[in-house]
Structure 1
Amino acid sequence: MNDQHNPEFKPTKTVPNTHVDLSDIINLFDLEKRAAEIMTKMAYEYVASGAADELTVRWNRESLDNLKLNPSVLRDVSQLDTRISLFGDELPYPILIAPTAFHKIMHPEGELATARGAGVASATYVISSFTTTPLEEIAEVATQPLWFQLYVQDDRSLVKDLVQKAEAVGCRALCVTVDTPVPGIRNRQDRVNFRLPDEVKAPYMHGLGDQKKLLTWADIDWLNSFSNIPVLLKGILNPADAEQAVQAGVSGIIVSNHSGRNLDTVPATIDVLPGIANQVNKRVPLLMDGGIRRGTDVLKALAQGADAVLVGKPVCFGLACGGADGVSKVMTILRTEFELAMTLTGRTTIASIDRSVIWKPA
């Protein structure tokens, strides 16, 4: 399934191609194959790669694939309701655009195209701290809710200013990444000598993430003390950490292994999700990312306790292939597949998706 590990599956272009026919793209795996053909090798390796031997990257997919569904038949599935509510906003379906970095290496319009594509697809977009476009410019073109993902850097005054800037432009939530005190071992990135082109800048981050981002629970208390928007912690894999997050007063948790990009051999997010859901027990919203490629994956994540999922790498591939149109195509494919999965398992509302959707041997 993961064609990027096939030696015949190599990006062939040296400059981004912004004119790609998307009409024959049927699923997200098709889209990655197309992206590999038109992205620069450096950009493709940046998006597709994981940490070290990429075992966690593979497990994210394998664990989702290995979960079997348990459909119920002869249900009235003539009407579906996929709406959810998060922090006062009603989302038409439970799939968000995850924060990913450096969109201008994938498409000349960068994060502006991502925001426009999110608008067409009625999707919430979580902007990365490593955006290559200023927040106010993204907000100007956005027509759907924006969230902001935060790396806490050493200069806390700059961090506070950035949080307040995100609030000022209308971001509705703050996702604090807590699993990256240092970057992981990324051999594929190193082999292509990844660096930003001279004309591409990340205005809110310096040193391209090489500096340590050391934070503790005291910093979460500090962020909560002045943030006027909900604070979520992104990168929780441990039920004990989830409990401490709830006790610290965070507004939500994102179960994430950084898409397998930091510490290799940590478990797939779908595998740790049920234990964290049991611990949190619906006290705060629980989101999950990592390996989502099919509508059935979304269904499985919700059945295992997530309130919503986030999708990252496919959005980058869609952006590379078609700008805003490619981004909206990714989200539309996933939304359509999710609705079909609900219909075929006999579930018509989000509330009806529980662990009975997952098949268990007798």
Structure 2
Amino acid sequence: MTTINGYEQSDREQKLNILNLPALEAEAKKIIPKGGFGYISGGSEDEWTLRENTKAFNHVQIVPRALTEMEHPTTETTVFGIKLKTPIMMAPAAAQGLAHSRGEEATAEGLAQAGGLMAQSTYSSTSIAATAAAGKGAPQFFQLYMSKDWDFNRSLLDEAVKAGAKGIILTVDATVDGYREADIINQFQFPIPMANLAKFSEGDGKGKGIMEIYAAAAQKIGPDDVRKIAEYTNLPVIVKGIESAEDALLAIGAGAQGIYVSNHGGRQLNGGPAAFDVLHEVAQAVDHQVPVIFDSGVRRGSHVFKALANGADLVALARPIIYGLALGGAQGVASVVNHLNDELKIDMQLAGTKTIADVKQAKLIRH
């Protein structure tokens, strides 16, 4: 363990023997301190939407196929012009130093090992440059929480461009923080400085509460912000937090080159729909104009399959990967992605789909 400001961080570095991803949560809870674990695992209010996110995958079924003479399915894909070994990516989750001393650097290293795509949060524990370096040239996105201070936004975007980011994820569903009761009960304050905030913070940047951080965030975000970021960076802007066809088309009209369907893992509007339940409608509205990324509730290879068959081009997740990070560092992260990929290949074989393009055409039964 490494201790920083009284907070104990895991130093583990090992491959994991994974039965399934849901089982990782209980194991990670044993080693992540209570406040940090509550922040990572928690949702808003009574966490109804958080629970529905995973249950919603049962609303469609995969039609098995036989006699297809198909074998050895491949998960390789190309999205945003980026060649990937898997359609599975890391969702941009904050403060991964809560789970491991190397934080996002280890996550980036593990994603690179597994051939997936890394996305780093504005509120990460490690800097944009350090996270990019840990990936050793593997593709990465940078996620921007817009600040009211454009100088702050510009500084982060400059760093992301310099570090070789392949795209900017603009999160638009967190203009205020969801009411997260675990953080209130635990009186949680971030014990570890956030590298991207440190140079704009007074003092050492530690000890900030969630409400303080969100107070600096922009609460008025519109299409002009999408245009501004796209023009400033000359990178694809992917708008994250889309749950309606109307917002997807607004974003594309403003120049978005990617739509990211997500309800923030059930951490924002409790009582809103499961992200999977709105994916099909949003993807139909997008109609292949731009790639679609999906997250929220993904725990199984079959969930990845269903999301792809329902209109997604990339499928992201965060909590299980962060639990793998706590339990095994970079190797733990790679273990989680590889396990999910192995489950996906089994589903692909049994559904008669050899490629990710085939998965997107797979037949689903909808209820």
Which of 124, 130, 150 is residue 156 of structure 1 equivalent to? 150
2:286 matched residue in structure 1:
280
Q: Classify 1:137/1:20 alpha carbon distance in 2 versus 1 (closer, same or farther; 3 Å).
A: closer
State how 1:1-362 maps to structure 2 within 5 Å: 15-19=8-12, 23-143=16-136, 144-197=138-191, 199-204=192-197, 207-214=212-219, 215-354=221-360, 356-360=362-366
What is the Cα deviation at residue 76 of structure 1?
2.0
Partner secondary structure for residue 197 of structure 2 = coil
Q: Classify 1:19/1:162 alpha carbon distance in 2 versus 1 (closer, same or farther; 3 Å).
A: closer
What is the Cα deviation at residue 69 of structure 1?
1.7
Taking structure 1 as the reference length, the TM-score comes to 0.91
1:11 matched residue in structure 2:
none
Would you say the 8 A contact 2:144–2:169 is kept in 1?
A: yes
What is the Cα deviation at residue 321 of structure 1?
0.9
Would you say the 8 A contact 1:254–1:286 is kept in 2?
A: yes
What is the Cα deviation at residue 258 of structure 1?
0.5
Once residues 168 and 307 of structure 2 are traced to their aligned partners in structure 1, the CA distance between those partners, rounded to angstroms, is 22
Once residues 220 and 129 of structure 1 are traced to their aligned partners in structure 2, the CA distance between those partners, rounded to angstroms, is 17
What is the Cα deviation at residue 360 of structure 1?
4.6
What is the Cα deviation at residue 211 of structure 1?
2.9
What is the Cα deviation at residue 21 of structure 1?
6.7
Once residues 27 and 15 of structure 2 are traced to their aligned partners in structure 1, the CA distance between those partners, rounded to angstroms, is 9
Partner secondary structure for residue 182 of structure 1 = coil
Would you say the 8 A contact 1:183–1:210 is kept in 2?
A: no
CA deviations over 1:61-118 (Å, ceiling 9, x no partner): 1101342221111112223232221222111111111101111111111111111111
What is the Cα deviation at residue 23 of structure 1?
4.5
Once residues 88 and 280 of structure 2 are traced to their aligned partners in structure 1, the CA distance between those partners, rounded to angstroms, is 19
Once residues 125 and 132 of structure 1 are traced to their aligned partners in structure 2, the CA distance between those partners, rounded to angstroms, is 15
Once residues 282 and 12 of structure 2 are traced to their aligned partners in structure 1, the CA distance between those partners, rounded to angstroms, is 43
What is the Cα deviation at residue 356 of structure 1?
4.5
Partner secondary structure for residue 348 of structure 1 = coil
Q: Classify 1:347/1:53 alpha carbon distance in 2 versus 1 (closer, same or farther; 3 Å).
A: same
CA RMSD, aligned part only? Answer: 1.7
Would you say the 8 A contact 2:14–2:331 is kept in 1?
A: no
What is the Cα deviation at residue 22 of structure 1?
5.4
Question: Structure 1 unaligned runs (5+)?
Answer: 1-13
Question: Structure 2 unaligned runs (5+)?
Answer: 1-6, 202-211
Would you say the 8 A contact 1:35–1:321 is kept in 2?
A: yes
Partner secondary structure for residue 117 of structure 1 = helix
